[in-house]
């Protein structure tokens, strides 16, 4: 298998070195894999995800993602717009834009006509089952629907990798299951690498590989058969 993520001796501290968020992380993730990252609050799992997505840069070590050396890449916005789709616990939709306009946002960095942008966004909304609500404002949608819009937005730039930080953390159990099914189906259909940070062990067990982070270090990394508890 080809590695899409290669991390070597990654270190990151905050507050003048008093808080060691990551303390010598080594990690490789295969292209097309579904990986969950688990750990206690403050263990460093979200920091690790942010490093993979170039939302933050380490103090020491190296990070390579989808062929980009993030330590040497100056145009990190290009990397994020071309290679990565982000899904967060809070959907971060812009309330005064329509659903379809929210999905179009990542496409504005590309040289693309407005008509094509809208067509691409509508295709993704169709994929997540919300094409009929394209003209609505996000405030008119349920929590689960808003998260599906966020997933459509994450996919619209055809990323190599989806990074999801507690994507079901603010949802009820039924809606959480629906969102997880959608992410897994998209991962399998599009062969997109899926990395999910979660505190929920039931969510973690759905991944092909579980990575446990403790005190800024990886303490366990294993593969398992997926436990499809909601299928």
- For helices 143-155 and 173-190, the axis angle rounded to 10 degrees is 20
Going by their DSSP bridges, the two strands 60-65 and 161-165 should be labelled as: unpaired
Which residues are within 8 A (CB) of 34 and not within 5 positions of it... i.e. 6 or more apart? 184, 187, 193, 194, 196, 206, 207, 208, 209, 226
pLDDT one digit per residue (tens) for the chain, 231 residues: 789 999 999 999 998 878 889 999 999 999 999 999 998 888 899 999 999 999 898 999 999 999 889 988 778 888 888 889 888 877 789 999 999 999 998 888 777 888 999 999 999 999 888 999 999 999 999 988 998 898 899 888 888 899 999 887 777 788 888 888 888 888 888 888 999 998 888 888 889 999 999 999 998 777 654 444 444
Write down the pLDDT at residue 25: 93
CB atoms closer than 10 angstroms to residue 194 = 24
pLDDT at position 223 is 67
Query: Which domains are delineated in the chain?
Result: 3-94+144-223 (3.40.50.300)
pLDDT for 230:
44
The whole-angstrom separation of Cα 121 and Cα 115 is: 10
pTM across the whole model: 0.86
Of residues 57, 60, 83, the one with CA closest to residue 70: 57
For residue 224, the 8-state DSSP code is: -
Query: Considering only CA atoms, which of 115, 152, 108 is closest in space to residue 130?
Result: 152
Q: Specify the residue for token string 């009820």.
A: 172
Q: Which residues of 37-52 are buried (b: 16+ CB within 10 A; e: fewer)?
A: bbbeeebbbbbbbbbb
Nearest to 7 by CA among 22, 20, 17: 22
Residues with Cβ within 8 Å of residue 151, at least 6 apart in sequence:
87, 128, 167, 179, 182, 183, 186
- Residues in contact with 136: Cβ distance below 8 Å, sequence separation at least 6, in sequence order: 98, 99
Residue 165 vs residues 69, 86, 97: alpha-carbon distances, Å? 22, 8, 23
Measured in residues, the chain has a length of: 231
Beta-bridged to residue 87, according to DSSP, are: 164
């Amino acid at each position: 298998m080809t590695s899409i993520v290669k991390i070597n001796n990654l270190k990151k501290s905050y507050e003048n070195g008093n808080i060691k968020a990551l303390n010598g992380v080594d990690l490789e993730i295969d292209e097309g894999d579904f990986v969950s990252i688990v750990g206690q609050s403050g263990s460093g799992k979200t920091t690790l995800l942010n490093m993979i997505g170039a939302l933050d840069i380490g103090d020491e070590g190296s990070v390579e993602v989808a062929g980009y050396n993030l330590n040497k890449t100056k145009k990190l916005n290009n990397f994020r717009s071309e290679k990565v789709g982000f899904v967060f616990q809070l959907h971060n939709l812009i309330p005064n834009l329509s659903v379809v306009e929210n999905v179009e946002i990542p496409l504005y960095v590309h040289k693309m006509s407005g008509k094509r942008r809208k067509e691409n966004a509508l295709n993704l909304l169709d994929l997540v089952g919300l094409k009929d609500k394209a003209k609505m404002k996000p405030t008119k949608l349920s929590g689960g629907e808003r998260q599906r819009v966020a997933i459509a937005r994450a996919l619209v730039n055809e990323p190599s990798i989806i990074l999801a930080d507690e994507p079901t953390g603010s949802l009820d159990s039924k809606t959480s299951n629906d969102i997880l099914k959608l992410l897994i189906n998209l991962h399998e259909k599009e062969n997109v690498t899926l990395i999910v940070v979660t505190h929920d062990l039931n969510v973690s067990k759905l991944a092909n590989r579980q990575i446990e982070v403790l005190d800024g270090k990886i303490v366990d990394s294993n593969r398992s058969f997926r436990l499809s508890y909601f299928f």
